[in-house]
Structures are given as C-alpha cells and as structure tokens.
Chains A and B, each alone.
Chain A
C-alpha cells in the first residue's frame, strides 16, 4: 500500500463522479472510508514516486504527524458529507477534489508540489463557498487565495534559485550548511504570507468574514473545521522545520500573531451574530496555533488543532442549521434555541466549554499543557496574553450560551435529524473522554514531526 493512493483515488473518483450524479455522494463516502482503512495498512516513512530517489523526485512523507492530520481530515469530510446527503449532492465531486487536495497537502515533502495541492484544495474551497450563494464574497476569497498562493510560489522559486532543490529535507540540510539567515528573510516572508491567507492569520484574513459569516451546513464546517485544520498542520510543519524564524523577523511574526489573537477575541466579543462570534474565535485560534509552533510546541499544538476542528465542526453545524430555519444568526433571534433541543443543547454547551478550556474537557488539558511548556520557555508575556484572551473568550461564550438556553418570550423550533444529534453527541463525548482520561495523549512527544530527525540523520 502506498500513500499516493490517498491522493490518487479521490482525484480519480472526483472525475468518475461527474458521470453519475446520483451515485456521486455514495462514491464520496466509499472513497472516504477506503482512505481511512488503507491508512492503517500503509507503513510510516517516505514514499518515492516514479523511481526517482531523493532529492530528485517528488516524495511523500507519512509520519505520525501527517497520519493524525489525515485521519482527522478524512473522518470530518465523511461526517460532513454524510450529514449533507440530499441537500448538497452536486458538491460531491468538489468534496472529493478537496479530499485529494488536502491529503496531498499534508503528505507532500516537495515545495512546488505543496503549491499545486494548495491550488487544488483552494479551487475546491472557492467552489464549496459558492454554496453560500454570495458570489461577491466568493470572488473576494478567490482573489485573495490566488494572490496568496502566487506569493507562496514566488518564495519557493527564490529558494530554488538559491539552493537548487525543491525537496524540503534537502533544502533544510542545505540551509543549515550555508547558515545565512538574512538572505532567507524575503522568501520565508513571502511563503508565510501565502500560507497565512489560507490559515486565516491577521492581516491576510479579510475574506473570512464574508465566507464564514454567510456559511451553511456544508461550507461552515468544511472551511471553519477541515480546511483550518489541514492548513494548520501544513503551517506547523513549515514553521517548525523550514522557517525557523530568527531575529527581527521573529519579533514581527510574534507581534502579528499576538495581535491576531487580541483582535480576533475583541471582534468576537463585540459581535452580536453567532456565526461571526465563531469565525472571529477561529481567527484567534489560528493565531494561537501558529504561535505555539513558533515556540516549538508541536504535540500540544497538534492536539489543539484536532480539538478546534472537532469543536468548530459541531458549532458551525448547530448554528448554520438553526440559522437556515430561523432566517437570522442574531443571538437575539436565536434565543431559546436549546429549550426544545435538549440533546443538541447539552452537546453544544460541552463543546463550547471545551473551546473555552474548562476542566474535565480536552480544551483544558491542551491549554494547561501548552501554557506549562510556554512557562518552561520563559514566555511569560505570551502566557498572560493567552490567559487574557481565554477570559474574554469565556465571557462572550457564556453570554451566548445563556441566551441560547433561555427563551424568554421568543419561541423558535429547529428540528435536528437523528444523524446530526449522533454526530454532536459523539464529538462531545470524545472531548469529554480525552479531557478526563489523558494518558493516551501523553504517549507521544514533540518528535511526532520526524522531518528534523531525518535531516539530522541523513
């Protein structure tokens, strides 16, 4: 079994699914399950493609880091596709394209190949957001995405002209030999901006409000959950191994990310629409993830990405379904949403409390551990910043929850299917289980990302 199947099979199925629109959603589910099954039979390590050995050919790297990312991406796409069967059937081919693109994104070890997968998954993302029926917002996203990936390519090409290679491991080795960081500032900045557009980092994220603020049960969890997670993993890989920011550039990056956290939380705090609260909190979370990777905290950043992706999937599904039936996402219009939906309400509350980082839930365990590691690194200011952000987050989430639970005189009834309820309860239980039973989380350490090890050992 080869990891290339994880990319090739969805792309082939995306092509075949155009032939039969009726079968397309089932083909999507089948390919998703196929990917998950073969993932457990593929041995960890490099996959050489076409018989060209490193560093000449393109190669894929499957290690624990990318395996966690792949399981998360494929499971979430299956769940989202299953919940949207019947409503968004014509998007099945696009979801297959997204699956192939995102799998390739986290697997590839080649810089130009990453640009190609960035564009494939980007094109799928623009098409997914077209389901919002807000073409101007989609157009805005497309323009920003295209400029971002062009800047990324610009950076990659400058690196190629300097080192004559596109293989990530080979490039890191050559950078270590030359050890001239000043010349690398320009390409690294360009690549960081390129990834930052997709990763929703300030100030490259002006598309997010238009896209997620008008999202539905397909585009909300896909862009806010799956894409955010996949790009988070890629950004982590690059920050951790290739960029290794130093000097003034490090200060600028940390300042930008810290600003991203503050602005994201402040905007969420001042917003009165539920979807906007969720999307601004996602922007803050993306900045926290990047900040953790900059500080070399890999394992807990990975768990943070996984927890955030699961939580945001539930939150966007609950709210977007309610918004569609009520016709507004203003908190005042959604008052009492959970008074008739007890199960959904409890699951939503548990997930929100996990995002806030309350004890007994996985969000608390993750926050506690990465704050401890930041303390070991003597990053007191960052700890204060994240704690302040958590307090603000706590205030606006609790305020939102209280209004969603108590109806006053506002009567709304939103019907959630059984399949929706099962997904919400399962995800809430997962967050609760790993929040109380933390031993499995500590089986790994920061070496789950093996690139540095490969670079050191050749």
Chain B
C-alpha cells in the first residue's frame, strides 16, 4: 500500500517539474519526486512484523528482520539529493543575479 503512496508522490514531483516555470518551485518538485523515490526504496525492505535488524544475544531464530540494505541505500541517496539540491539552489541564485527573476518565462523575454 505504501508503495502506491510513494509512486503518487513521485508522479506529483514529475508533474510539478513539467508544469512549473518558477525555478524554486521546480527545485521543490524535484525534491518531492526524490522523497517519493526514497519512500519506495524503504518500502522494499519493510515487513509488518519485522524488527530492527540488530542481532543480540536475546534474539531468537524465528524472528523476522527488516531488510537493512534499502535503508543504507536511502541514506546515500538522501545525501546525494541534498548535494544536487544545494547545487541547484546555487545555480538559481546566479540566475537571479543575472535576470532578477526566478520565472523562466520572464527570462525568455529578456533573452
């Protein structure tokens, strides 16, 4: 079920990217899309009765663990996403310095 929510978020992000002409809103849409992807990745390793994947002396053999690998992947992907967002914002700043607007339509009029 949670995977449907993730895919809907992903599609919302792409819709935002396609319809928005404001650079900041496009960056936010990119982030919404990435969050959808991250939730999808987490949902791959999730199981309802699973416990945290930490092996202790008390834990018996019949327990179900949550798959830790997707969580590790998401950590890396989040860091990369933050890097890309930071770079996008830096480029947005230089666009604003040059054209005094965040709106792509207004920029094209000036070009």
Contacts and interface: CB of A to CB of B under 8 A. Distances in A.
Interface of A: 112, 115-116, 119, 122-123, 126-127, 130, 135-136, 138-139, 142-143, 146-147, 150, 153-154, 157, 160-161, 166
Given A119-B80, A136-B107, A157-B73, A130 B91 contact: yes
Contacts of B76: 112, 116
B77 A142 contact: no
A161 to B, nearest CB: 4
Contact of A142 (B44, B84, B94): B84
Nearest to B96: A135
Contacts of B77: 115, 153
12 contacts: A115-B77, A126-B91, A130-B91, A136-B99, A136-B107, A139-B23, A143-B17, A153-B77, A154-B10, A154-B37, A161-B44, A166-B69
Contact of A150 (B33, B91, B98, B104): B33
A119 B70 contact: no
A130 B94 CA distance: 10
A115 to B, nearest CB: 8
Contacts of B10: 154
B91 A138 contact: yes
Contacts of B14: 147
B16 to A, nearest CB: 11
Contacts of B88: 139, 142-143, 146
A139 B95 contact: yes
Interface residues of B, number: 30
B95 A146 contact: no
A123 B34 contact: no
Given A139-B88, A142-B87, A157 B30 contact: no
State the main secondary structure of chain A at its contact with B. Answer: helix
B33 A147 contact: yes
A58 B32 CA distance: 29
Given A130-B91, A143-B88, 15 more contacts: A112-B73, A112-B76, A116-B80, A123-B83, A135-B95, A139-B95, A142-B84, A142-B91, A143-B17, A146-B84, A150-B33, A150-B37, A153-B41, A157-B73, A166-B69
Contacts of B104: 136
A117 to B, nearest CB: 11
Given A136-B107, A147-B30, A160 B44 contact: yes
A160 B72 CA distance: 13
Contacts of A154: 10, 37, 40
A143 to B, nearest CB: 6
A153 B37 contact: yes
A19 to B, nearest CB: 20
A308 to B, nearest CB: 28
A98 to B, nearest CB: 14
Contacts of B17: 143, 147
B9 interface: no
Nearest to A118: B80
Nearest to B37: A150
Interface in B69-93: 69-70, 73, 76-77, 80, 83-84, 87-88, 91-92
A448 B88 CA distance: 39
A138 B40 CA distance: 29
Contacts of B66: none
B98 A135 contact: yes
Contacts of A115: 77
B34 A157 contact: no
Contacts of B69: 160, 166
B87 to A, nearest CB: 6
Contact of A119 (B41, B84, B95): B84
Contacts of B70: 157, 160
- 6 closest Cβ pairs, A-B complex: A135-B95, A161-B44, A119-B80, A135-B94, A139-B91, A157-B41
Contacts of A150: 33-34, 37
Q: Considering residues A119, A130, A136, A138, which has the most beta carbons from chain B within 10 angstroms of its beta carbon?
A: A136
Contacts of B40: 154, 157
A352 B54 CA distance: 61
A161 B104 CA distance: 39
B39 to A, nearest CB: 11
Contacts of B84: 119, 122-123, 142, 146
A92 B72 CA distance: 31
Nearest to B43: A161
Nearest to A126: B87
Contacts of A157: 37, 40-41, 44, 70, 73
Contacts of A146: 30, 34, 84, 88
Contacts of B98: 135
A127 B33 CA distance: 23
Contact of B95 (A123, A136, A161): A136
